[in-house]
Amino acid sequence: MQLFLDTTDTAVLKDLAATGLVDGVTTNPTLIAKSGRPMAEVIAEICGLVEGPVSAEVAAMDVEGMLAEGRKLAAIATNVVVKVPLTRNGLIATSEFAVEGIQTNVTLCFSASQALLAAKAGASYISPFIGRLDDHGAVGMDLIGEIRAIYDNYGFDTEILAASIRTPAHVTAAALAGADCATIPPATFEALFKHPLTDKGLEQFMADWAKTGQSIL
């Protein structure tokens, strides 16, 4: 399973990328606004920090606008993936990007039928928003399993990118449900490393090791 970082904070990205565990990055207009930086500049910097896919989202709502913006974003670096909203126009643009060989991440997916259309349009990635579905009173994770079954039934190669991840348990459940990737906010990514029993066990081991008076080196 590929793990992406959902951030425009390049300091945080550098720190986590140093673990070798960050396979890619996703951004969205909210995260670009949060960075306070020009979009092209921040996307270029992120693309220099990770070799994997970096999603950059179009802001236009019409097909021609999405195509123009997407082509411009794709020209920033070879690892840019153009993020397109799951609308009728977004899927028309996705089909054209597929013809042009531009990678796409179809975002704001909340149903399996939307995901089916995205795959038929030739999306490289589909982003079902788990946390926001949970907020809405649904069981967001069920959607990952449904999309997995549909894509496997028909051999679609669109990758399922579990998004709107809020907890380590979401990451685990997405992996069990067969998501190809998950995009994770930095705090949740950090939490993936941790378990209280790891800390407790290590504390005990180190205390006992100190009693031996030994040194391995």
Q: How far is CA 205 from the centre of its chain?
A: 36
- Structure tokens that stand for 158 in this block: 């669109």
14, 34, 72, 83: the catalytic one is 83
Give catalytic status of residue 83 as yes or no: yes
Least CB distance to ligand E4P at residue 129 (A):
6
CB of 165 to ligand E4P, least distance (A): 6
- Coil, strand, or helix at residue 208? helix
Count of positions on this chain that bind ligand E4P (CB under 6 A): 11
Build a one-symbol-per-residue string for 93-132: x at contacts with ligand E4P by CB under 6 A, - elsewhere.
--------------x-------------------x-x-xx
Instruction: State the minimum distance, in angstroms, from the CB of residue 210 to ligand E4P.
Output: 43
Q: Which residue has the tokens 């928003």?
A: 129
Q: From CA 17, how far away is CA 27, in angstroms rounded?
A: 16
Contacts with 10 (C-beta within 8 Å, 6 or more apart), sequence order: 42, 45, 46, 49
Given the rule CB under 6 A, which residues bind ligand E4P? 6, 26, 28, 107, 127, 129, 131-132, 163-164, 183
